[in-house]
Structure 1
Amino acid sequence: MLPPIDTIIENFEIVEDDDMRLEYLIELGRALPPMPESERTEANRVHGCESQVWIDTKAEPSDGTPRLVLHGFSDSFIVRGFVALMVALYTGKTPREAAETDGLDLFRQLRFGAHVTSKRSNGVRAMAERIHRDAVRLAAGA
């Protein structure tokens, strides 16, 4: 089970060693709830990632308010950690809140930019853009 995003941010802030930060990212990927094979469809595939990435974004009612529930998966351990960050960041937000959230800001806040290849950076950007589009679509339908 993934910890709340605030806990994840706090944990990254106290870990200075790049290797330990990478290990924590991989650990988060391992904690990602399993994405059923049936959701790993072309419609859920995130294009623009070097690795294979799938993200399924739904709005489900919680206390009468639609809130996002995300499932995700990647065939890469490191990228699966980035998927876990996105899932932790967006799950539980209303579609409108999610549409106003910048997933790339989290990536910058956690200081991954200098330690991640440009291809992985592009993949994180593609994930954030995909979730943003889904959130805007779900907010319009609410």
Structure 2
Amino acid sequence: MAQQAFEDVVEDFEFLDDWEDRYRMVIEMGKAMEPLPDALKVPATKVEGCASQVWLHPRIADGTFHFEGDSDALIVRGLIAVLLRLYDGLPVSEVPRVDARAELARLGLTEALSAQRSNGLRAMIERIRTEAANAA
């Protein structure tokens, strides 16, 4: 059920032999993202449960879920970029149906992240799901 943008990431990851290369790719994806404006880095957009500073700003337009995000940690910015490709542009009603754990496992992310990063990733996914559910 993943979007084409996420399928493209999966395809790119298939050509990378080890986690270090994948890690670098995730970081590069994060570096390529537009930074979240400072005006949106407020307590209401901050994601609790992350070791790093993380902000997610959802937007719903015509029943479609969009969000932007940022972090002070490069790898976390990259994880936000991956989540953007997984969720951004979906109908709001489909966001809760995405099995993020299974989709991210296709990238090998679940095994390669530290426990702290995994907890932060879960917190980001939960925030996305909650925001979509509240908008639905």
- Taking structure 1 as the reference length, what is the TM-score of the superposition? 0.88
Which residue of structure 1 lines up, in the alignment, with residue 23 of structure 2?
A: 22
Which residue of structure 1 lines up, in the alignment, with residue 71 of structure 2?
A: 74
Alignment pair present for 1:84 and 2:94: no
Query: Aligned AA for 1:25?
Result: V
- 1:31 Cα deviation (Å)? 1.5
The percent identity for this pair of structures is 34
- 1:46 Cα deviation (Å)? 0.6
Q: Counterparts of 1:87 and 1:115 in 2: how far apart (Å)? A: 20
Query: Aligned AA for 1:102?
Result: D
Q: Counterparts of 2:108 and 2:18 in 1: how far apart (Å)? A: 12
Instruction: Give aligned pairs, total.
Output: 133
Tell me the secondary structure at the aligned position of residue 48 of structure 2: coil
Query: Aligned AA for 2:76?
Result: V
Equivalences for residues 39-58 of structure 1 within 5 A: 39-58=40-59
Contact preservation (8 Å) 1:102, 1:128: no
Gaps of 5+ in 2: none
Instruction: Please report the RMSD computed on the Cα atoms of aligned residues, expressed in angstroms.
Output: 1.3
Query: Aligned AA for 2:132?
Result: A
Which residue of structure 1 lines up, in the alignment, with residue 12 of structure 2?
A: 11
